[in-house]
Structure formats: C-alpha cells, structure tokens
Amino acid sequence: MSTETNNLRGPTSALNPPDDSAFMRAALKEAISAYEKGEVPVGAVVVHEGRIIGRGHNLRETLNDPTAHAEMLAMTAASEARGQWRLDECTLYVTLEPCPMCAGAIVNGRVKRVVYGASDPKAGACGTLFNLVQDARLNHRAELEAGVLGEEAGELLKSFFRECREGTIARRGGKDPE
Ligand SMILES: [Zn+2]
C-alpha cells in the first residue's frame, strides 16, 4: 500500500495550503495554554467544514489522567459538537506527532485527515516509530501531513523542557522524561 504512505510530506513542503497554517496557529495557541499550566505544551484543534469544532491541550497532570492528551480532548469535544463519534469529515491539527494512543483514537474516530507540526522520535505513531493511521491492516486510514509549523511547535517544547531544567517554571507532576 505504498501509495497510502507516500502522502506523508516532509517539513520543507511548500504545498501546505494556507488554511493548514492558520489552523495550526490555533493548535499552537492551545499548546501555549498547556505551557502556562506547567503541562507539556501540546495543543490540538479539530476542523469541520472550515470551522474549529473542538479544541484541546495536554492536561495529563491537571486531570491526573494518562489519556488527557491534546488530541483526545479535542476529538471528544468535536464528537460532542457533531453529536456523533464519527469524525470522518474532519481534520485534526496537532502541534506534536500523535502517540500510539491518539493514533488509535484517530483510527477509531475515522478522522479524515491529520496535520501535525513537530515529529516525535520517542512516541510518534504517524510516521516516525509507527504509522498506525495509514496501516492497511486496520479498518481506516487517514490522510497525513507532517511538519506544518513544526519548528515553532518544537521550539515551544524545547523551551518548556529548558525552563523545567533551569527551574524557571514549575512543571506539574515532577520531571519524568517525556
Ligand atoms: Zn497522545
């Protein structure tokens, strides 16, 4: 199924439609909200017909919940807004490459398209360690776009971990490596 994995574009792609950057900006704003709470800064929005219908940022420490990733919260909000769990006409924008849990939820929610910013060499499940959202063995595949405002998303994460090390900000939940 090589045709399905080939549409993963690199960070230098000049083909990002302008809307992608605009919605990624909204996801970055969510990530900053997480940052301000001492949470690892990851943000997400779900877009349906050009409109944001769900937002979320990482709240794992605040909610004491291992599933409280930005994507999960944004997808739950979007499903509520749509009145259905199927998000097959929606695009998920997230600042960091989704982990296996979130990639699983993307498949289960039949999300049409996923756009992410920075790649995650430690947990990325949309092309880096795994590509769960385009695995032909599963019952759904999403279109994938990588590297949209990836540098900004990555800088935000780097700056957060730097500040944690320097003790400038109090990271909630201690300092287990991400
Ligand atoms: Zn996740």
* DSSP notation for 117-147: EE--TTT-TBTTS-BGGG-TTSS---EEEE-
Dig out the tokens for 150 from the structure.
């990836």
For the chain, what percentages of helix, strand and coil (3-state, to nearest 5) are there? 40, 20, 45
Which of these, 8, 22, 72, 9, lies nearest to 42 by C-alpha position? Answer: 72
- 108 CA from centroid of ligand 1 (Å): 14
Q: What percent of the chain has pLDDT over 90?
A: 83
Query: Contact 99/78 with Cβ under 8 angstroms?
Result: no
pLDDT at 26: 98
Residue 9 pLDDT greater than 80, yes or no: no
Residue 177 pLDDT greater than 70, yes or no: no
What confidence tier does 173 reach under pLDDT thresholds 50, 70, 90?
confident
User: Across residues 28-33, what is the average pLDDT?
Assistant: 98
Q: pLDDT tens digits, residue range 33-56? A: 999 999 999 999 999 999 999 999
Q: pLDDT tens digits, residue range 63-106? A: 999 999 999 999 999 999 999 999 999 999 999 999 999 999 99
One of 39, 71, 97, 145 is an active-site residue; which one?
A: 71
Pairing relationship of beta strands 143-146 and 51-57 according to DSSP bridges:
unpaired
pLDDT at 17: 59
Q: Cβ-count burial of 35 within 10 angstroms (0-12 exposed, 13-18 middle, 19+ buried)? A: buried
Residue recorded with tokens 């090390």 = 165
Residue 176 pLDDT greater than 70, yes or no: no
Which of these, 96, 128, 138, lies nearest to 74 by C-alpha position? Answer: 96
Pairing relationship of beta strands 90-96 and 43-48 according to DSSP bridges:
antiparallel
pLDDT at 10: 47
- 74 CA from centroid of ligand 1 (Å): 11
Q: pLDDT tens digits, residue range 122-143? A: 999 999 999 999 999 999 999 9
- 140 CA from centroid of ligand 1 (Å): 18
**Residues shown for the chain:** 178
- 101 CA from centroid of ligand 1 (Å): 5
39 is catalytic: no
